Amino acid sequence: MRIADPTVLRSDTALVSAMANGDQHAMGLLYDRYSPIVFSVALRVLVDAAAAEDVLQEVFMQLWRNPRAFNSSRGTLGAWLGVITRNRAIDCLRRRRPETHIDDVVVSVEPDLASEAERARTVAKIRTALDSMSVGQRIALEMAYFEGLTHSEIASKTGEPLGTIKTRIRAGLLALRGTLAQ
Amino acid sequence: MTRHEQYAEDLALHALGVLDKEDIHTLESHISSCSSCRRELLQLQDDAAWLALSTIGPVPPARARKRLLESIACEPRIPRIVQKRTFWAVAIPYGLAAALALLTVFFRSEIFDLRRRMANLQSSYSAQQHELAQARDLVNTFTSAEAKHITLVAANASPQPQGKAFYLRTTGRLVFLASNMAPVFTARAYELWLIPETGAPIPVGTFKPDAHGTAVIVNPPLPRGVEAKAFAVTIEPEAGSVAPTTQPIMIGTGE
């Protein structure tokens, strides 16, 4: 039996491929790498640790059952799992059946988040971008993303005009793009 | 505001999946025909994906990992069964392909042969049509009411009744031309006879001359292969006789 060198980082693609062939150890490695992202997103949306844990379980089981839904040529696994988790958590929040199939989710962002250092750098950049936004802009963006509220619902909750909410959400996404492109 | 700017903000909301339902249809129908907005939507979805990473911090409890690994152990990946291809599984498709190839070659050859035969038949048919037209012209020259029948005789000699029989034994075909024939009485007719080498005379057919004294018999029903010693003409009842009842008024032997 060959013992893997723990200092060698196996790529997401290699792990997903091994997992597709039934390698449960590879699944464990992927879980270790990405469960903080999945759990954090689910918790942020649901604000309930038990419910977040259920979503975590569900997302990784989906990956186990349908590993080919993730296409490494169309994005990184970390970002892809983040989007799937967010969509599934919002479906749970609204107590509705899943509206987005995991095969339909495409995220083609860089960099590869397999390395912990890269993940930390990327998260820092995102937080900087959010911190540099006005409070109104960040709240509108986060309410849309983490609560799945429509702009009408956000306008109703915040008391801001509909047009302002729309503008803030778009400007927020563009600001994020600008910061991450640097 | 340009056409695209009109949709810019809705694209951002759609990328987050929070566009009001009533606006989704309008936007999607625009996107279906606008590659620029399609690209921008994908880009905005990528931008939005980063938001998920902003939340990293809490880690799941250890039991979550155990629970997951136990769950996947209960759902072992079913190994893909690679069916071993037997000799026949390989041989049958190849055999069928080879048979099809042979059939193709065979049918191509048959088609070529049929085409060649068809071309020959076409050519033969054209030649026969030509010959038939010539034969019809010839027969028409003998039988047409408009045809003039002229018998040439020695100068200062008066025309005499005359008959000419053209007979082909092998096919039993006959053409008989008569000229300068005197009219016959009512209920009577001339009858032509084939007198064979052996046996009784065979009736060929009856005829009555026209106003110019001419008459033609073309291909009457005759048995094949009868050697004709002579042809003779008698006067018989109009319906014809099975054997001559009068003395021949004309007789001729073969040349």
pLDDT at B16 over 70: yes
CB within 8 Å: A64 and B72 = yes
- A65 Cα to chain B: minimum distance (Å): 8
Which DSSP symbol is given to B225?
A: T
pLDDT in tens, A31-60: 999 999 999 999 999 999 999 999 999 999
CATH topology of domain A115-182: Arc Repressor Mutant, subunit A (1.10.10)
ipTM of the complex: 0.80
Asked if A83 reaches chain B (Cβ–Cβ under 8 Å), the answer is yes
Nearest to A46 by CA among A93, A97, A95, A94: A93
What number of C-beta contacts closer than 8 Å exist between A and B?
163
Average pLDDT over residues A116-144: 87
The pairs formed by B147-150 with CB atoms below 8 angstroms and a separation of 24 or more are B149/B177, B149/B179, B149/B212, B149/B214
Domain A1-112 has CATH 1.10.1740.10: yes
CB within 8 Å: A152 and B20 = yes
Q: What pLDDT score does B188 carry?
A: 94
Element (H, E) at B188: strand B188-196
User: Which part of chain B has CATH 2.60.40?
Assistant: 162-253
Confidence of residue B82 (pLDDT cuts 50, 70, 90): very low
pLDDT at A145 over 80: yes
A53 close to B60: Cβ distance less than 8 angstroms = yes
Contact residues, B window 10-69, toward A, CB-based 8 Å cutoff:
10-13, 15-20, 42-61, 64-65, 67-69
Q: What pLDDT score does B3 carry?
A: 62
A13 close to A72: Cβ distance less than 8 angstroms = yes
Asked if A178 reaches chain B (Cβ–Cβ under 8 Å), the answer is no
Confidence of residue A112 (pLDDT cuts 50, 70, 90): low
Element (H, E) at B251: strand B250-253
pLDDT at B110 over 90: no
d(CA B147, CA B141): 6
Q: What are the beta bridge partners of residue B233?
A: B192, B250
**Whole-structure pTM value:** 0.55
Domain B162-253 has CATH 2.60.40: yes
Q: What pLDDT score does A2 carry?
A: 45
Q: What pLDDT score does A76 carry?
A: 81
Give φ, ψ of A51 to 5 degrees.
Answer: -65, -40
CB within 8 Å: B17 and A130 = no
Average pLDDT over residues B183-209: 93
Q: What pLDDT score does A141 carry?
A: 92
- B8 Cα to chain A: minimum distance (Å): 8
Confidence of residue A61 (pLDDT cuts 50, 70, 90): very high
Residue ranges of domains in chain A:
1-112, 115-182
Confidence of residue B241 (pLDDT cuts 50, 70, 90): very high
pLDDT in tens, A72-98: 766 788 888 988 999 999 988 887 555
